[in-house]
Amino acid sequence: MSTNDTSQTMSAYFTALGTGRFQQFFTDDVTWTTIQSGEVVRGAEAVEEAINGLHAHMPDLSTRQLMSAPGVAYLEGTCAGTNDGDRIPFCVAYDLAADRIDAMRAYGDIASFMPTSP
């Protein structure tokens, strides 16, 4: 997978992300790992649900430049903090297999924004 292929896949994914329906960009066994808490979500439907829940709880979400290389991408951003007004930085690392996202790892102090499992 070339850098250009990775960039095109990620661009299409972020466009779909705004619709709330984007699991078609995931492999069937995709994982989302929140590094801070160690929680792992598995499977396309469950990961889509977790990301939608996360975004619903992240006030004033702002992203910066997406960096891509063959088969990997990294996105940094911030969101408003819960109490003191400070912004909370985060980074998401994406691993791609062919034209699908195979794994995502979220770094930063965002575990408290993840929806709780039923």
Would you say residue 118 has pLDDT above 50?
no
Would you say residue 114 has pLDDT above 80?
no
**Residue bearing the bigger pLDDT, 115 or 103:** 103
pLDDT score for 109: 79
Helices (H), the chain: 3-17, 44-57
Give the integer Cα–Cα distance in Å for 82 and 109.
Answer: 11
Q: Using alpha carbons, select from 2, 1, 26 the residue that is nearest to residue 12.
A: 26
Residue 101 in tokens: 């996202």
pTM of the full predicted structure? 0.88
Would you say residue 55 has pLDDT above 60?
yes
Would you say residue 60 has pLDDT above 90?
no
Q: Which domains does the chain have, with CATH numbers?
A: 3-113 (3.10.450.50)
* Cβ proximity of 69 and 53 under 8 Å: no
Residue 83's pLDDT band, with cuts at 50, 70 and 90, is low
Averaged pLDDT of the chain: 87
